[in-house]
Structure 1
């Protein structure tokens, strides 16, 4: 009977759990859906207890199948949705629903923070999604709740607390709060003091740190008979990078899910990148990463499908795109369906198609949408390269890595070799690797990566295609400036 570790990925729409053995092979997996609470426009919340219930249910699904049993589970760790505020009272109970990463209620608080610190804070842009503006919103808008506040956690840290009884937060997730100092690896209490936050900070630990065992009460509830060690885990993007083998200086990840990410590893605490590029701690020890975010990457393709191609599969839409030419016959798409993060940091900009004519076809709309998503990601690469990052090879994961046409397009637009993984499990794999390393199965995280990650097909850039794409890209970059005022005027009518 082989030992396994569980990698638990706490997402926004579901909890996904994988069970992996010492060879990095997936024995089984489960998924439990989550519900979003949206009381007002721009508000996105979840009940923290729903996460705990879903994690317990996911574990029960696995141990009740014939593929494995609970005695095989040696340890577990987490990947978690970033930035979400989970405020706890003195009994360590949630005071209110968690305010999530995609909640945009904090524009006023962001402006207040900028008035004190400028446009960046602790090497990061000041954006609605981060945790610090949410804390300030809670203080200003729910004073009764604020007076009850003892400590704040992030989503996966709350679930981990409920399984172990121990309060902590690890560095890769803490980096997304706007309160972690990347130079000291500690909370920047001076920032919090200027905003009147008080002493509300949890202890900090490494991503692979042992933080306890599953409590006897939880074991009894789930009918677990073995002792299961729990390790801290990491932020979803950090675990996505780890679970893709992107752990060394200069290695770069392109992840296309609902949102899109360009992430490039670095060991140095460099100057601010600007242009709303984030600078966070990796789940890999002694490593950080620069990251650009496209808010509506796969979401744009899903919008296209649901709006115009309901009867077609994503593969059929991508096949349509192959029948159009580079530049989609003069059609450009700006994927600002929900605002944009990098480089503009604008929650109010909206998307657009530019260049529609009487000959524009459904093939052109399909290709323009995919090109627009990829141009948006390329913009992050351009700014990182301008700051001295050498980005020649990129690991691609997510929806954009499941199609050879799109992978070649990434290579051509990015002007870099783009490689897919043979088997892709994303953040849940990174979480499993943290547990495997924490248990001492491997002497180093590099050894763990060599065992768990298998590289697939690579795509080399076509220089002629890159030059042609680049002409369209330079026009694409003008769309934001040209449509910003128009968008604002439209929003003001409503």
Structure 2
């Protein structure tokens, strides 16, 4: 039996999966690394922590699985998007990486849209300038740390830096390059027009490769440190959301996924790069060659529930929490929650907006609040579903992965709010499985990602909407949509008083 490894470089940890040719997970390992928040809005990591912990995770896989290294034919990557890793001529980081959830670049976003022009930006990069993207971070360093910036020779995204340390090869795949705001999405090349208008030297941009491409083999040093062989093929890999889509079978028209982790994502397959969503949702190149996807983001999805639990019901397990939620009626007895606790992305690109509970009265219990949090997160995700439906896209069903797929009650809430059947997968491993599938196809185990999907991905069951719940949630969703406009100014004033 031959195997591949899928490496998912997340925001808090790296997770490695050892997967056989039939899609069975033979072993998995995870290693944490720290986050640094030196100032409000700052979020950074040391890129060398990623490298060290990735090698450690791979070594742990081999030790615990007892699989012969020679049987592991290839590996690929999924990675947290947008993070800026700025490198000098020796390919050493000039500073800590600035991550996707760093919000210091609001001014740079305004400058990008003013200097490039919103019309041209949307035509080329297909997305508005938001704090999470890489280009605003690049401009921030150029402006605020000019001495560091003058020594920069290239930049990479997180997984690409790890891959460089395993192979010695520099590159960035299209699905991650699409999240920089420097890529011409349709023509699949770095945009000279955007770079010129902002004074960015395109030589900073690494070579572009396909997510499915073999970029080399492990170096002798990397093989020694991980326990693998120098013959192990290394594939470029893709952005975490693109790999999550592959790992969920989002590989053809009509397929839609809802992923609830720290943030929440609604992602739908697009066969071409010619759609126009006017920046209402993200539009990126897929990790499947020649295809694209639209994506809406809730910045604090699972994070909102985690915050609520730690703050108000710390002693309860998540299982107990959802048992209590199940006993609260639909609509949380007239209580609404907006999950804007770290700002919002879709449909409100607003780093200043903050969350709120609306409709609080003396009869509400902590469990009413808990259900309101889960419903509010799901309403926020439904904003993205709504945009896709209004664009003419048919959503026959939604594949649910991540934390939202681990609770029966939350799966039912998704079905009722989205008004669509929810599909739960049997062996849901998210982006790590998508990375493993890229490696499996690259190693020749399968002729295509679709053929690999037929073997690797199994449906456990389907959860159908409950008609009376659907109607109740439709009325509540209309009210939810009004809360942002009613609280935006209040949030700005409160933020100013901090």
| TM superposition score category, shorter chain reference | over 0.9
Give the aligned partner of residue 174 of structure 1.
Answer: 177
Spell out, residue by residue over 1:450-491, the C-alpha distance to the aligned partner (whole angstroms, 9 max, x if none).
111111110112233211111111011111111111111111
Question: What is the Cα deviation at residue 118 of structure 1?
Answer: 3.9
Question: What is the Cα deviation at residue 201 of structure 1?
Answer: 1.3
Question: What is the Cα deviation at residue 226 of structure 1?
Answer: 5.2
1:296 maps to 2:295 = no
2:371 is paired with a residue of what secondary structure?
A: helix
Give the aligned partner of residue 415 of structure 1.
Answer: 419
Contact 2:335 2:360 in 1 (8 A): yes
1:177 is paired with a residue of what secondary structure?
A: coil
Contact 2:422 2:462 in 1 (8 A): yes
Question: What is the Cα deviation at residue 143 of structure 1?
Answer: 1.0
Spell out, residue by residue over 1:314-362, the C-alpha distance to the aligned partner (whole angstroms, 9 max, x if none).
1111111111111111100001110000010010111010001111122
Question: What is the Cα deviation at residue 147 of structure 1?
Answer: 1.1
Unaligned runs of 5+ in 1: none
Spell out, residue by residue over 1:238-284, the C-alpha distance to the aligned partner (whole angstroms, 9 max, x if none).
00110111111120000011110000001122343146410011111
Q: 1:396 aligns with which of 390, 394, 400?
A: 400
Contact 2:244 2:432 in 1 (8 A): yes
Contact 2:220 2:230 in 1 (8 A): no
1:316 is paired with a residue of what secondary structure?
A: helix
Q: 1:138 aligns with which of 115, 137, 141?
A: 141
Q: 1:368 aligns with which of 367, 372, 384?
A: 372
What TM-score do you get using the length of structure 2 for normalisation?
A: 0.97
Contact 2:218 2:229 in 1 (8 A): no
Contact 1:85 1:100 in 2 (8 A): yes
Spell out, residue by residue over 1:382-433, the C-alpha distance to the aligned partner (whole angstroms, 9 max, x if none).
1111112111211000111111211111111101111010111111000000
Contact 1:151 1:200 in 2 (8 A): yes
CA distance in 1, matches of 2:169, 2:223: 16
Give the aligned partner of residue 8 of structure 1.
Answer: 7
2:492 is paired with a residue of what secondary structure?
A: helix
Contact 1:293 1:377 in 2 (8 A): yes
Spell out, residue by residue over 1:41-72, the C-alpha distance to the aligned partner (whole angstroms, 9 max, x if none).
11111111111101110111112225323222
CA distance in 2, matches of 1:247, 1:209: 18
Contact 1:27 1:67 in 2 (8 A): no
Contact 1:275 1:383 in 2 (8 A): no
Contact 1:14 1:31 in 2 (8 A): yes
Spell out, residue by residue over 1:9-48, the C-alpha distance to the aligned partner (whole angstroms, 9 max, x if none).
0011000000001000001010000111122111111111
Matches within 5 A, 1:217-228: 217-225=221-229, 227-228=231-232
CA distance in 2, matches of 1:225, 1:299: 39
Contact 2:331 2:473 in 1 (8 A): yes
Give the aligned partner of residue 470 of structure 1.
Answer: 474
Distance change in 2, residues 1:226/1:197 (3 Å): closer
Question: What is the Cα deviation at residue 300 of structure 1?
Answer: 0.9
Distance change in 2, residues 1:472/1:221 (3 Å): closer
Give the aligned partner of residue 239 of structure 1.
Answer: 243
Moved more, 342-351 or 457-466: 457-466
Give the aligned partner of residue 34 of structure 1.
Answer: 33
CA distance in 2, matches of 1:201, 1:278: 21
CA distance in 1, matches of 2:8, 2:271: 26
Displacement over 4 Å in runs of 4+: none
Contact 1:123 1:271 in 2 (8 A): no
CA distance in 1, matches of 2:470, 2:117: 37
1:475 is paired with a residue of what secondary structure?
A: helix
Contact 1:167 1:203 in 2 (8 A): yes
2:77 is paired with a residue of what secondary structure?
A: strand
CA distance in 2, matches of 1:19, 1:250: 30
CA distance in 2, matches of 1:41, 1:309: 26
1:357 maps to 2:357 = no
CA distance in 2, matches of 1:62, 1:405: 34
CA distance in 1, matches of 2:320, 2:117: 47
What TM-score do you get using the length of structure 1 for normalisation?
A: 0.98
CA distance in 1, matches of 2:387, 2:295: 10
Give the aligned partner of residue 387 of structure 2.
Answer: 383
CA distance in 2, matches of 1:226, 1:7: 17
Moved more, 255-264 or 273-282: 273-282
1:15 is paired with a residue of what secondary structure?
A: strand
Distance change in 2, residues 1:413/1:215 (3 Å): same
CA distance in 2, matches of 1:218, 1:422: 34
Contact 1:89 1:149 in 2 (8 A): yes
Question: What is the Cα deviation at residue 223 of structure 1?
Answer: 4.2
Q: 1:306 aligns with which of 307, 310, 318?
A: 310
CA distance in 1, matches of 2:256, 2:328: 29
Moved more, 110-119 or 351-360: 110-119
